[in-house]
């Protein structure tokens, strides 16, 4: 008689992963709300610990998360909750932050997938131990004065009616002058970005040039010419921040410094390629 094949009950919960570390005080985790409100806990694997939280299976499919993260308010809440857990883990030792919405269909699937990547996690933990990430953004000089000058030339530089030959030439010269000023300003900003990046790389263990951010995202009227991430020894933090201040003073450029951060930009394979 053929024996019936046992059915495997569907998983009731998926596993959300915040970070991977070697050591963490498990007593601090349940106080963190995380994404779903379920207990934040540890999942051991391969001499490592993943900090995880259960997500109801009905809410864990790609469509549900796409809809959730499409809502600006919900996206902000999830980003803040994710970062809060990562920061709590990193405060206790080196940690590999996982990307937002890193989900596995079950705890066993999470353990298998993370275990297969254990060697990389050990490498990253060695890389970021005792180090922090600093962000540096450099912006081009304000274009507002140049733009207004150009607008003035267009609106008031030519008298009403058909222009004379001399007035037309003067108008074109003013337009060309505005364009030249804008181009020179851009070239100067790019040179400043290269100077800043070269100097700061000399003080960092690793560095990455990230994608430039659009003006709508930054909220700044100036064009961004450098978006750099620098992995710095904790003991060299003062020297690094002093170097940024010196660059601001020497170049007169708008340079933003942010951090120190958990080394998100150096947690993946591309982060390893930033090693000096």
Considering the domain architecture, whether residues 64 and 137 belong to the same structural domain is answered as no
Same-domain status, 26 and 119:
yes
Same domain, 97 and 138: no
Range of the domain at 256: 132-142+184-272
Do 93 and 136 belong to one domain?
A: no
Last residue of a domain, one of 80, 98, 128: 128
Query: Which pLDDT value is given to residue 55?
Result: 92
Q: Are residues 25 and 124 in the same domain?
A: yes
Asked if 204 contacts 240 with a C-beta cutoff of 8 angstroms, the reply is yes
Looking at the fold, whether 40 and 100 belong to one and the same domain comes out as yes
What is the predicted pLDDT for the residue at 246? 96
Measured torsion, CA atoms of residues 136, 137, 141, 142, in degrees rounded to the nearest 10: -130
Measured CA to CA, the distance from residue 222 to residue 253 in angstroms comes to 11
Structural domain count of the chain: 2
Q: Is residue 110 part of a domain?
A: yes
**138 and 106 in one domain?**
no
In this structure, the answer to whether residues 58 and 83 fall within a common structural domain is: yes
- Which of 82, 102, 128 corresponds to the end of one domain? 128
- What pLDDT does 269 receive? 60
Asked if residue 152 belongs to a domain, the reply is no
Residue 179 lies inside a defined structural domain of this protein = no
The per-residue pLDDT for 12 is: 77
pLDDT at res. 154: 43
Does residue 70 share a domain with residue 55?
Answer: yes
CATH number at residue 262: 3.30.70.100
Do 76 and 138 fall into the same domain?
no
Residues of the chain with pLDDT under 70: 1-11, 142-182, 184-185, 215-219, 269-276
Please give the pLDDT value at position 179: 67
Long-range contacts from 80-85, C-beta under 8 angstroms, 24+ separation: 81/33, 81/34, 81/35, 82/18, 82/35, 84/32, 84/33, 85/18, 85/19, 85/29, 85/32, 85/34, 85/40, 85/51, 85/53
> In sequence order, what are the beta bridge partners of 136?
228, 257
Tens-place pLDDT, residues 202-243? 999 999 999 998 766 666 778 899 999 999 999 999 999 999
Asked if residue 148 is part of any domain, the answer here is no
Collect all residues with Cβ–Cβ distance below 8 Å to 165 and sequence separation of at least 6.
none
Q: Are residues 203 and 238 in the same domain?
A: yes
Q: Is there a domain that residue 217 lies in?
A: yes
Do 136 and 231 fall within a single domain?
A: yes
pTM: 0.76
Instruction: Identify whether 244 is part of a domain.
Output: yes
Q: Where are the alpha helices (DSSP H) in the chain?
A: 62-70, 72-90, 107-116, 118-128, 144-156, 165-201, 215-218, 237-251, 269-272
Confidence (pLDDT) at 98: 95
| Residue 76 belongs to some domain of the structure | yes
């Amino acid at each position: 008689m053929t024996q019936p094949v046992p059915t495997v009950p569907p998983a009731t919960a998926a596993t959300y992963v915040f970070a991977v570390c070697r050591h963490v005080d498990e007593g601090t985790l349940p106080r963190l709300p995380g994404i779903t409100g379920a207990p934040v806990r540890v999942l051991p694997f391969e001499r490592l610990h993943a900090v995880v939280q259960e997500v109801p299976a009905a809410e864990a499919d790609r469509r549900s998360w796409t809809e959730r993260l499409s809502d600006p308010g919900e996206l902000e809440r999830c980003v803040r909750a994710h970062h809060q857990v990562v920061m709590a883990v990193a405060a206790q030792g080196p940690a590999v932050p996982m990307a937002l919405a890193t989900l596995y269909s079950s705890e066993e699937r999470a353990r298998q997938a993370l275990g297969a990547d254990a060697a990389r996690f050990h490498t990253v933990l060695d890389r970021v131990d005792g180090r922090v990430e600093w962000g540096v953004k450099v912006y081009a000089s304000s274009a507002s004065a140049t733009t207004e000058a150009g607008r003035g030339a267009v609106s008031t530089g030519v008298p009403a009616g058909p222009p004379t030959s001399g007035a037309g030439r003067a108008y074109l010269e003013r337009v060309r002058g505005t364009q030249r000023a804008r181009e020179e300003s851009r070239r100067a900003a790019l040179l400043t970005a290269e100077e800043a990046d070269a100097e700061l790389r000399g003080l960092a263990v690793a560095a990455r040039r990230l994608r430039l951010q659009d003006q709508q995202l930054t909220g700044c009227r100036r064009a961004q010419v450098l978006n750099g991430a620098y992995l710095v020894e904790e003991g060299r933090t003062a020297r690094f921040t002093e170097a940024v201040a010196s660059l601001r003073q020497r170049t007169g450029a708008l340079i933003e410094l942010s951090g120190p951060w958990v080394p998100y930009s150096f947690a993946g394979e591309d982060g390893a390629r930033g090693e000096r």
